[in-house]
Structure 1
Amino acid sequence: METLGRSNAVREYFGDRYDTVHRYAQMLLDQGELRGLIGPREMPRLWERHILNSAAVVPYLAEARSVADVGSGAGLPGVVVAIMRPDAEVLLVEPMERRTTWLLEVVEELELSNVVVKRGRAEEYGGAFEVDAVTSRAVGALSKLVRVSMPLVRVGGELVLLKGRNVRDEFDAARKVLRKFGAGDPEVLPGKTIEGVEVTTVLRVERRK
């Protein structure tokens, strides 16, 4: 379960952020299943399917100084983003109280001074703040994500989403809502981390007006 997480490849990938990422992964291993954050079958694949999968979005957030993670849940990818980008403000938006309780504990335990946890649905925060980028993982269909998340993105900012490999199948259903929110054409990008770990799919959409 921990072999990949302790490998040289993972240590090198995360560099000076490795210790903090490892502590977060250990919190998930210790409490994730018990608190209903991650299913039991996912635990042996935590590093590959969740930690590294979340990290794959970070290179596409290089220009962002503020990031909102919508439907943050266990903190994937938001906590991983916050650890890897200590220079960026990261807002974790999550409606469920038990999950926001967990997120607050993680922020305190890992001393993440760049994180703010916001309890509520993304649509409740439209007009309350704008960020350079909104990310999310396994939250819903593209049409829904654009509708609830794009109002949080400043003009010139981006949605940078972790999606399944068949995300192009969602484009037609999302076309109308993309136009409504002044979005550009969706761009499908490779989310690479370390050798031997499956490349994930990143979808980037710019808000143009």
Structure 2
Amino acid sequence: MTAREEVLVRLDVSRETCQRLDTYAALLAKWNKAINLVAPATLPDLWRRHFLDSAQVLQHGPTSGLWLDIGTGGGFPGLVCAILAADSRPELTFEFVESDQRKCTFLATVLRETGITASIHSARVEALEPRRAQALSARALAPLTALLDHAERHLARGGIALFLKGAQHDAELAKALEKWAFDVQKHPSETDPTGALLTIGNITRV
């Protein structure tokens, strides 16, 4: 069984969603030659390293409302979640925030080719008006302390932040608690034995 097949079995998605993910994978491989969307060395493991890694975020997020993905880049985790949610959570609305115009063009191309609806903000997250989102996600974007600043600004009351973090997540949590108070749950990463998915709510400044 190929990595693609293993991931699709784990995700248990519809044929249409499989086709959308295939379209996304093909576009990413093509565009990555000109734009650094993902590290070239990770392309052979795209389905596990990027698609499955991003997909795990969706299961811990809300089922409706606005989902704001910041620093979306090549679409991780936000675009993967949006593709999966089109079938499983149709009441979710997605917005992507990406300051690199070339990456925004790539995201728009994937949305058009897959038929997925989402909004793209070609801007820095600091420049956006508060979005009142039910969920805010990010992957490999910034230290947790900085991410919490964005979450506190853009989440609605009762909203949650979902951050994929690597081996240093405990150290980042300890550092963040110097400036912030929050509720946190740590979920073991499905793709990185040293990583975790942090779901964080009730964020307030100390």
| TM-score, normalising length: structure 2 | 0.87
Within a 5 Å distance, the mapping from 1:57-206 to structure 2 comes to: 57-86=57-86, 87=90, 88-113=92-117, 115-127=118-130, 129-179=131-181, 184-192=182-190, 197-198=191-192, 200-206=195-201
SS at match of 1:60: coil
Q: Distance in 1 between matches of 2:64 and 2:176?
A: 24
Counterpart amino acid of residue 94 in structure 2: V
More strand by share: 2
Count of residue pairs brought into register by the alignment:
197
Moved over 3 A (4+): 197-200
Residue 140 of structure 1 deviates from its aligned partner by 1.0
Alignment of 1:4-23 (within 5 A): 4-5=3-4, 7=5, 10-11=8-9, 13-16=11-14, 17-23=17-23
Code of the residue aligned with 1:38 in structure 2: it is V
Task: Provide structure 2 residue ranges, at least 5 long, that are not aligned to the other structure.
Answer: none
CA contact (8 A) 1:156 1:208 kept: no
1:3 aligns with 2:5: no
Give the direction of change, closer, same or farther, for the CA distance of 1:120–1:207 in structure 2 (3 Å limit).
farther
8 A Cα contact 1:153 1:207, kept in partner = no
2: CA distance between counterparts of 1:169 and 1:208? 18
Task: Report if aligned partners of 2:71, 2:97 keep a CA contact under 8 Å in 1.
Answer: yes
Q: Give me the CA root mean square deviation.
A: 2.0
Deviation per residue, 1:153-179 (Å, 9 max, x gap): 001001011111320111222124323
Percent identity of equivalent pairs: 24
- The CA distance in 1 between the partners of 2:166 and 2:29, in whole Å, is 24
**What letter is aligned with 1:89?**
T
Query: What TM-score, normalized by structure 1, do the two folds share?
Result: 0.86
In structure 1, the residue matched to 2:32 is 32
**Unaligned segments of structure 1, at least 5 residues:** none
Mark the CA change 1:99 to 1:30 in structure 2 (over 3 Å): closer, same or farther: same
